[in-house]
Structures are given as C-alpha cells and as structure tokens.
Amino acid sequence: MRNYLLILAILFTNCTFAQWTNKKYTNIEPATLVATYTLHSQPDSTNPSWIRTSTLILLMGPNVSEIVDKAAYINDTLTRKFTTKEQIIDYLTNPKAIRPNILYSIYKNYPKGKLTFKDHIPSDTYKFEEDLDLFHWELTGDTSTICGYKTQKATCDFGGRSWVAWFAPDLPYSDGPYKFNGLPGLIVKVSDTRNHYDFELTSINKLDPCLMIDIEDKDYIVTTKQGFFKAFDSFREDIINRAKQYGADNDSQQVLAKNMAQRNNPIELIRK
C-alpha cells in the first residue's frame, strides 16, 4: 500500500523531491473573503450510483479570486514548510493524509479580463488563459431561498451542458465556483440539468487576517484549452506505461488504469 500511495502521489503532483523544498510564489493580492462550496459530481458516466463529494474554497480579493480544492489548499500550506526528503515521503505515503479530489486551480481576472487555469498532467503542470466573459446568462423571474439567502435563477449553456444557477443579489460579488462568474451577485448554487455536477455554497466568511492569493513560479507548459485536454487524453491512454516508469507493480498499474478509466465524465464535454 505504501508503494502504491507513493507512486500515485508522485504521478499526480508535479515536483521532484528537490522541487518540494525550493518552491517560489508570486503574491497577487490579499483575499478578504472566503466562500466554501460542496461539489457533488458523477465522475463515471456509466456508474450513476457513484457520487463523489469535494469541498472547494473560493478566495476573493478586491480584483482577483482563486478557486481550489480545500484539501489541496491545506496540503500546499503544509508542504511549504517541508525541509527534508523524509518529511515529504512520510507525508505522501501516509494513508491518513487528506487526498484532494481536484488538482486544478482557477484564477479569475488574472490577468485582468482573463481567467487562468492550471492543472497537473504528470510530469508537468499546464497553464492556459481564457476570456473571463465565458457565460451568456439568461436571467429569469424565478426566486428561491437557498443556504439562507434570497436568490434569483439564471440559466446558460456552457461546455456542452445546460446550467441552472441561483445567485444572491445581497452578496454583491460577481463570482462563483469553478469558472462561473458574471452574475449580479455571488452564485449560491449551480448545477447542470443532468445533475452530474452540483455546486452549493455552505459558508461565506470575512478573512481577518487576510490570506494571500498567490501563484507558484515554475516552468509551466503554457498552452491552450484544447492543447491541455489533448495532453490529458494522451496521458489517460498511456497511464500504464507512465506508471511503469515510476516502478509500479502490476497490481498498482491495474488500479491506476481502472481509476483513470472511471474519469470519463468531465465537467466540460465540449472543449472549445
């Protein structure tokens, strides 16, 4: 089990042992608010009974926001303090350590008017930009109380799915989970009509003291959205050979291949 966990951790992080202790970051701006969302998703389109639950945090500053898996944020905060190879190995192979379901992070309005998406595809980290104005919302007259807030309904088509969002005008932040933004209030709940992906706000709090929104300085593979997904599809198809490169035994190879095969229902079905 320890060997499998180490191989899995190395595959889905993008650092050699030396890189763990030499990370550098660029500060973007302080976050003054944090919104926490629960995501219920169906990663495997052939298995509707398997629903994965993730917790994401949206750090919001005056101009920029970052959305990241809460477990990934905690892991990053902890590992920034590591100074030895032994600390890293013990952490990566500890079966009680929290494992993030989501490895991507998304920066909105960074750079200005753009959205920056970064994610790991072993053994590299990819980064691409999109226009921030991705969504063409249609506001409706429907209202509801969700998570204790009075909300209004909006709909749009995005990424090959139809989406229904509920936003709170009393929370004057044009933001939300994942890439969602552009409504006159914080998105409290957003789901696709197949109910494969459902984000719901669980809390929003002021940060005192503030937390810094930053981004790691590293040699990213800078690409396009289409280029990123092409690289990811190539990795999925070659997972067993990749695992062999890191010394995975046959059982570990099969487990990794099975796990990867179950990731067949991405949030964006159309990648344009």
- Residue 154's φ and ψ, nearest 5 degrees, are -140, 150
pLDDT along the chain (272 residues), means of 10: 48 52 88 98 93 97 98 86 75 76 95 96 90 97 96 98 98 98 98 97 95 94 95 82 68 74 90 76
Q: How far is CA 252 from CA 2, 61, 198, 240, 258, in A?
A: 11, 42, 31, 9, 10
Q: How are beta strands 105-108 and 114-121 bridged, if at all? A: antiparallel
pLDDT for position 86:
75
What kind and span of H or E run contains 206? strand 197-217
Say how far apart CA 268 and CA 257 lie, in whole Å: 22
Q: What is the separation, in whole angstroms, between the first and last Cα of the chain? A: 39
Please give the model's pTM, rounded to 2 decimal places.
0.89
Indicate the SS3 state at residue 200: strand
Check if the beta carbon of residue 44 is closer than 8 Å to that of residue 225.
no
pLDDT of residue 248: 65
pLDDT at 1: 45
Tell me which amino acid residue 167 is. F
Spatial distance between the Cα atoms of 186 and 147, rounded to a whole number of angstroms: 12
At 9, is the secondary structure helix, strand, or coil? helix
Q: Which long-range contacts (CB under 8 A, 24 or more apart) does 239-244 make?
A: 242/11, 242/122, 243/7, 243/11
Q: What is the pLDDT of residue 261?
A: 81
d(CA 102, CA 258): 18
Q: Token digits for 104?
A: 């991507």
Helix H, strand E, coil C: the string for 13-65 is CCCCHHHHCCCEEEEEEEEEEEEEEEEEECCCCCCCCCCEEEEEEEEECCCCE
Q: According to the model, what pLDDT value does residue 80 have?
A: 81
Report residue 244: phi and psi, to 5°: -60, -35
Q: Name the 3-class secondary structure at 91.
A: helix
Contact 58, 1 (CB under 8 A): no
Q: How many residues does the chain have?
A: 272
Give the count of beta carbons closer than 10 Å to the beta carbon of residue 250: 10
The pLDDT value given to residue 19: 57
